[in-house]
Amino acid sequence: MILCITHSQDFYTIDIVQNALTNLGFQSIRLNVDEFAINYKIHYNIIDGQTRCRLTTEDLSIESSEITAVWYRKLWDLEAPEDLDPNYKLVILKEYHTYLQLFFDSLKNVYWINDMKTDHAVGSNKMHQLEVAHNIGLQIPKTTIGNEPAVVRTFSKSCPNGTIMKLHGALAKSMDAKLFLPTIRLSDKDLDNLADLSYCPMIFQEYIDKMYELRIIYVEGIFFAGKIQHTEVQVDWRIAQGIESVWKRYQLPNEITNKLRRMMQCLHLPFGAIDMIRNKEGVYVFLEVNPQGEWGMLQRELGYQIGETLAEKLIEQAKKNEQ
């Protein structure tokens, strides 16, 4: 049995993977983490020196000992029961977080895409990503992170083509989200009005004149790449409007796939959504890797079998775990 960890508002990609698992003859269970405190009954005990965990809902029962692989798709905040006294909400949710982690810990000896601790460590440290990418020979943009306007202005002066600004993390749950802050290119007026940085540090990078942007999905050594021409979007492809299909299939050169494969191995990630730029001089520039990045648009628009590949890799490792 393969466990798929996500949340109740997730759609499309989760269905692709679960359907693929079913078609390949493997049972899967969906765990909506946000509903853990309202829809799941829990029972944990120790049998023969090992912790056994069982989660039960009206429709299913999950026994930790039955799970042979885990797809860690998404994690989200827990919801509290509607009739819960607000004075106890923080305490109760803290307890449920503990029991959720105990459940995850009971699966530490099975295969994960991705291991949760590694996933969080890599996703929460983009500077480390850039260091690793640079050290294996990838080009990276000049970068600084901070909340000091004067430092940002000085940094911007060192970037002849200008500066972009973006958040370190994401605001949204899914690829259909309306709430997010896109990457923006700073104007001179923006640089004169940076007082709000005191509320939230941001990532600042040199602006790169590009031919196109690339979203590259990596699944256990396999690459699926899509490109967007620079004429179709300005700075951030996520805010493209009125374009039916902006994505085109793209074949990465072997030199780049070899370096990206080494980078993902160094980061210990079997899965990731990698963002790169190819600049006007033809150089490939690494921007970041999102361990939980979206890929549904590439499968939907380009016909890539990303979800099916994820399912195959999960089954391959699950069978090894059963031996």
Query: Tens of pLDDT along 222-269?
Result: 999 999 876 544 555 454 544 455 899 999 999 999 999 999 999 999
Q: Measured between alpha carbons, how far is 163 from 98 in angstroms, rounded to an integer?
A: 42
Hey, what are 119's tokens? 């996933």
Q: What is the dihedral of CA 295, 299, 304, 307, to 10 degrees?
A: 70
Nearest Cα residue to 214 out of 169, 135, 136, 275: 275
Longest dimension (CA), the chain: 67
Q: Measured between alpha carbons, how far is 189 from 65 in angstroms, rounded to an integer?
A: 59
Which residues face 14 on adjacent strands? none
What pLDDT is stored for residue 175 in this prediction? Answer: 46
Q: What is the mean pLDDT of residues 163-175?
A: 68
Q: Per-residue pLDDT for 176 more than 60?
A: no
Residues 212-224 have pLDDT tens digits of 999 999 999 999 9
The pLDDT-based confidence of 49 (bands split at 50, 70, 90) is confident
Nearest Cα residue to 163 out of 178, 181, 141: 141
The pLDDT-based confidence of 86 (bands split at 50, 70, 90) is confident
Residues 275-294 have pLDDT tens digits of 999 999 999 999 999 999 99
What pLDDT is stored for residue 88 in this prediction? Answer: 87
Let me know: does 44 contact 51? Beta carbons within 8 Å. Answer: yes
What pLDDT is stored for residue 238 in this prediction? Answer: 52
Query: pTM for the whole thing?
Result: 0.87
